[in-house]
């Protein structure tokens, strides 16, 4: 348990940041799931549109520190390849 004022404040900040990051991660995963569902349905136009909306969300997660840059790039690359192969 935190004892000093500074450590108590840090604990409060950590909890607040955790909740914000959790919400961001959940939001990004929702966008990625929409792309996955569009790919599964075989609708290339819907998949391409979902990918187009997911990309800025994923990169926003990188700038906010939720995901590593390479992780986001890898996810985007793999999804784009799967959407492209739907033809």
SS3 content of the chain, % helix, strand, coil (to 5): 85, 0, 15
Structural domains counted in the chain: 1
pTM listed for this prediction? 0.86
pLDDT tens digits for range 21-74 = 999 999 999 999 999 999 999 999 999 999 999 999 999 999 999 999 999 999
Q: Give residue 30's domain range.
A: 5-84
Distance CA 59, CA 28 (A): 9
* Angle between the N-to-C axes of helices 44-63 and 69-84, in degrees from 0 to 180, rounded to the nearest 10: 170
The CATH number covering residue 72 comes to 1.20.58.110
Could you give the C-alpha distances from 42 to 34, 38, 45, 51, 83, in angstroms and in order?
13, 6, 9, 14, 9
């Amino acid at each position: 348990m935190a004892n000093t004022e500074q450590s108590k404040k840090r604990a409060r900040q950590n909890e607040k940041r955790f909740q914000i990051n959790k919400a961001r991660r959940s939001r990004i995963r929702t966008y990625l799931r929409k792309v996955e569902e569009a790919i599964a349905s075989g609708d290339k136009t819907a998949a391409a549109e979902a990918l187009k909306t997911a990309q800025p969300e994923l990169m926003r997660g990188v700038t906010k520190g939720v995901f590593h840059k390479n992780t986001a790039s890898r996810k985007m690359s793999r999804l784009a390849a799967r959407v492209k192969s739907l033809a």
